[in-house]
Amino acid sequence: MDGIISMPGGRTIMADRTVAELKQKIAQAREVIAHLMDKAAFNGAEAHRALDYFGSDEFDRNFLPWPHHGDEGLRPEELNAANDD
């Protein structure tokens, strides 16, 4: 047995546990960001954007504020981080 137990509806106990752990990890990431903001006295728009993002259930493929492969050549003012207050 490989530790995966099938359940009705095609779900597995392993998958349910993985989802729960990923949700906990995201909650930890949000706490770390808030702590770092507090320690650095950083209160910019991008920091709050990160807290809002990690506090929600939404996924944004374009969340990261720097260029992805294929996006090279963007100027700093075109990046999300350049919009910090």
Residue 26 in any domain: the answer is yes
Residue 45 in any domain: the answer is yes
Residue 70 in any domain: the answer is yes
How many secondary structure helices (H) and strands (E) does the chain include? Answer: 2, 0
Confidence of residue 21 (pLDDT cuts 50, 70, 90): very high
Residue 3 in any domain: the answer is no
Residue 4 in any domain: the answer is no
| pTM for the whole structure | 0.51
Whole-number Å distance between alpha carbons of 37 and 51: 10
Residue 1 in any domain: the answer is no
Domain that holds residue 20: 9-83
Q: How many domains does the chain have?
A: 1
Burial tier of 50 (Cβ tally within 10 Å: 0-12, 13-18, 19+): buried
Residue 64 in any domain: the answer is yes
pLDDT of amino acid 1: 42
